[in-house]
Amino acid sequence: MSTQTLSLFGGAITATAPSELIDASDLRQIPDTQEVFLFPESSISIIVEILQRVESSENSDAVKFHFSSLAHDNDAESSQVVSVDVNPNDRGDPTPSAVVLSGIQHIRKFNRTALDEVRILMSLYRVVEKGIDLIVTFNVPIVSEDGGAVDENKFEVVQNQFNVFIRSLRIGDFNLFA
């Protein structure tokens, strides 16, 4: 599978991603604090979002807060954190280490009767000196009525793509957060 280097927020942030992604801003209006990408053959989405830093001294609590906020925004009927880990930045650049959460949310989309099961892969980069939490979220439907769900094999591929994305993410211009 081929990859590309995404230039996010005007080039202030870069990350390696699958080359077939669709930039959602070509299809609809996206807030200035977000970059959104879609997979063409499924309902998988990637959202990179700049948020105000949550007041939590524990990084694991902060990423769980953002996961819970996402569940609230999605009107999830249930959500579960599966794991939280730290992926240290050992490249020597000033990009913070990634706090990585894997979880599941059950969401009723578009007033449908059946619940979609969406696996959430989330990474948090805490830019403490700027009061910012940078969040990367891969939303991966496993069960969906719209035909956009993926099987376990595709989920593993996407999980590997998520790992490449978050390990390659580099904040090159911290003035983005001014």
CATH for 148? 3.40.1000.10
Q: 81: how many CB neighbours lie within 10 A of its CB?
A: 17
Spatial CB neighbours of 64, under 8 Å, sequence gap ≥ 6: 81, 84, 101
Calculate what percentage of the chain has a pLDDT beyond 90. Answer: 87
Split at pLDDT 50, 70, 90, the class of 136 is: very high
**What average pLDDT does this structure show over 137-143?**
95
CA distance 25 to 7: 14
**Segment 30-52, tens digit of pLDDT:** 999 999 999 998 999 999 999 99
Q: 71: how many CB neighbours lie within 10 A of its CB?
A: 22
pLDDT value at residue 14: 98
Show the domain range for 132: 3-177
> Please, are residues 165 and 135 in contact by the beta-carbon 8 Å criterion?
no
pLDDT value at residue 57: 82
Average pLDDT over the chain reads 94
Give the three-state DSSP class for 5.
strand
Say whether pTM exceeds 0.75.
Answer: yes
CA distance 70 to 37: 17
**What average pLDDT does this structure show over 76-94?**
95
Closest C-alpha to 100, from 75, 125, 72: 125
Calculate what percentage of the chain has a pLDDT beyond 70. Answer: 99
Domain count, the chain: 1
Q: Is the pLDDT of residue 161 over 80?
A: yes
Q: Is the pLDDT of residue 168 over 90?
A: yes
Give the three-state DSSP class for 50.
strand
